[in-house]
């Protein structure tokens, strides 16, 4: 990735960091590879097809991480279990999947996500969703859709219809893939399809135990306190999440304009303590960072610093130039000096082609008068500016460029 792209990525990363840190989340970092077993235990044996797994020189089976949650939960169980709850963690890094690269899907891509460990309350579910929502808002993305569900509603419905646990997963799969013909093979198929399209109050009529619906309504009440209202999301029971470790309230965020790969965030309430022998409650989400960038496209507003290029004329001026550079850099400006011993014409042409905003020309005359000849590379104007005003001069004129 080239500097123009990295500048955008770091700007979005900084925004996401600021949001999650303001909510009290602290960053953790886990290794790029782990024992393959960890990922198998979390996601089942079929994950092996999708990951980069190999044997190291010591004969250990290791794999490049396909996501962070398993690693963060391992870190929690190995070194943070005794910490007071709730424990709020976030991460940012690259993950790896062995699949055919396509737009918005690469073999190495980036996840930004959080884990909220400990609390299992409507407030905790609501914070989890509100945090993801606030993150999206802060990136500046306008065209997006938040979809919320509670997996326990469908679990309970299928329970009441006498469907055993293993078969529930198959039904969830049909719902996810919108295979309505196959759903219709169940006696309750038509009713289930109706339920999927109903609002929460109507869904209660189809359930003996309406507890899971009330749980979700409680979460939505807290979301309202965050200023996230009915108009800001959809209730969508077919939001079933691909991974089968989710168990309660879940959500997804889609971005417009991304086509089939429109999901930029997914998360919810999950259970991952059991593979470590605990029953700790956890909620979290992960952003597909590269897709967020794709979705933002040209919308992204970058605060660019003025970039200046200094051309010394005659060796005598160099002490003056290096002094000026030091001051300007300490003031937070970006400044380069001609390094290739080119004449003024060639150096100015470089400054133009390399996209500098200002060129500083400094010769005997400037030194005697304690000034700098500042050339605005966009307008072509050149002006003699007193040394002490150069910083504010370029800042002001940069805003007008």
- List the interface residues with a second copy, window 298-317 (CB under 8 A): 305, 307
The least CB distance from residue 215 to a second copy, in Å, is 14
Q: Which of 199, 212, 198 is nearest to 156 (CA)?
A: 212
41 or 336: whose CB is closer to a second copy? Answer: 336
Q: Which of 330, 272, 264 is nearest to 297 (CA)?
A: 264
For residues 110 to 149, the per-residue mask of contacts with a second copy, x marking binding by CB under 8 A and - elsewhere, is: ------x-xx-x-xx--x----------------------
Q: Which of 50, 70, 51 is nearest to 62 (CA)?
A: 51
How many of the chain's residues bind a second copy (CB under 8 A)? 72
User: Which one of 103, 190, 225, 302 is in contact with a second copy (CB under 8 A)?
Assistant: 225
Angle at 150 between CA 160 and CA 250, to 5 degrees: 145
Judged by CB under 8 A, the chain residues 308 through 367 that form the site for a second copy are 318-319, 321-322, 326, 329, 332-337, 339-341, 350, 353-354
**Is 378 a residue that touches a second copy (CB under 8 A)?**
no
23 or 186: whose CB is closer to a second copy? Answer: 23
The least CB distance from residue 23 to a second copy, in Å, is 7
CB 108 within 8 A of CB 61: no
Question: Residue 24 burial by CB count (10 A; 0-12/13-18/19+): exposed, middle or buried?
Answer: exposed
Q: Which of 13, 33, 14, 4 is nearest to 289 (CA)?
A: 13
**Is 98 a residue that touches a second copy (CB under 8 A)?**
yes
The least CB distance from residue 47 to a second copy, in Å, is 14
Q: Which of 212, 211, 172 is nearest to 192 (CA)?
A: 172
User: Given CA atoms 334, 339, 340, 344 in this order, what sign does their dihedral have?
Assistant: positive
DSSP string over 75-107: HIIIIITTSPSSEEEEEEEEEE--S--BTTB-S
User: Which one of 3, 162, 164, 259 is in contact with a second copy (CB under 8 A)?
Assistant: 3
Judged by CB under 8 A, the chain residues 13 through 32 that form the site for a second copy are 18-19, 21-24, 26-32
Q: Which of 123, 92, 86 is nearest to 20 (CA)?
A: 92
**Is 229 a residue that touches a second copy (CB under 8 A)?**
no
The least CB distance from residue 133 to a second copy, in Å, is 12
The least CB distance from residue 92 to a second copy, in Å, is 10
Mark the segment that binds a second copy (CB under 8 A) among 2-10, 257-265, 372-380, 389-397: 2-10
The least CB distance from residue 271 to a second copy, in Å, is 18
Judged by CB under 8 A, the chain residues 50 through 89 that form the site for a second copy are 52, 54-57, 64, 75, 79-80, 83-86, 88-89
The least CB distance from residue 334 to a second copy, in Å, is 5
Judged by CB under 8 A, the chain residues 181 through 210 that form the site for a second copy are none
| Cα–Cα distance measured from residue 5 to residue 289, given in angstroms and rounded to the nearest whole number | 13
H or E stretch at 193: helix 189-196
The least CB distance from residue 20 to a second copy, in Å, is 10
127 or 254: whose CB is closer to a second copy? Answer: 127
| Cα–Cα distance measured from residue 289 to residue 12, given in angstroms and rounded to the nearest whole number | 9
């Amino acid at each position: 990735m080239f500097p123009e792209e990295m500048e955008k990525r770091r700007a979005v990363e900084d925004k996401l960091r600021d949001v999650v840190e303001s909510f009290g989340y602290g960053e953790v970092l886990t290794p790029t590879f782990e024992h393959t077993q960890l990922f198998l235990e979390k996601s089942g044996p079929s994950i092996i097809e999708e990951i980069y797994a190999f044997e190291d020189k010591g004969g250990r089976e290791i794999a490049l991480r396909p996501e962070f949650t398993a690693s963060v939960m391992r870190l929690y169980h190995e070194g943070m279990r005794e910490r007071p709850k709730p424990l709020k963690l976030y991460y940012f890094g690259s993950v790896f999947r062995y699949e055919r690269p396509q737009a918005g899907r690469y073999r190495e891509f980036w996840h930004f996500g959080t884990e909220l460990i400990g609390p299992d309350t409507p407030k905790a579910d609501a914070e989890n969703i509100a945090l993801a929502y606030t993150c999206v808002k802060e990136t500046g993305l306008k065209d997006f859709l938040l979809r919320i569900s509670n997996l326990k509603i469908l679990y309970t419905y299928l329970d009441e219809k006498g469907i055993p646990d293993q078969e529930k997963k198959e039904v969830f799969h049909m719902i996810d893939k919108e295979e309505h013909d196959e759903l219709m093979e169940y006696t309750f198929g038509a009713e289930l399809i109706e339920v999927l399209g109903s609002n929460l109050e109507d869904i209660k009529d189809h359930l003996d135990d309406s507890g899971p619906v009330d749980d979700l309504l409680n979460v939505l009440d807290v979301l309202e306190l965050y200023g996230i209202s009915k108009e800001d999301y959809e209730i969508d029971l077919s939001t079933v999440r691909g991974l089968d470790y989710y168990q309660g309230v879940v959500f997804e965020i889609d971005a417009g304009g991304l086509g089939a790969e429109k999901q930029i965030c997914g998360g919810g309430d999950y259970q991952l303590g059991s593979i470590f022998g605990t029953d700790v409650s956890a909620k979290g989400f992960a952003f597909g960072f590269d897709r967020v960038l794709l979705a933002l496209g040209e919308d992204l507003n970058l605060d660019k610093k003025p970039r200046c290029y200094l051309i010394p004329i005659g060796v005598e001026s160099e002490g003056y130039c290096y002094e000026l550079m030091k001051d300007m850099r300490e003031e937070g400006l970006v400044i380069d000096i001609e390094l290739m011993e080119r004449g003024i014409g060639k150096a100015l042409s470089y400054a133009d082609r390399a996209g500098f905003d200002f060129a500083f020309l400094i010769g005997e005359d400037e030194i005697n008068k304690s000034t700098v000849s500042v050339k605005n590379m966009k307008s072509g104007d050149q002006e003699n500016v007193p040394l002490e005003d150069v910083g504010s001069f370029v800042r002001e004129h940069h805003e007008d460029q």
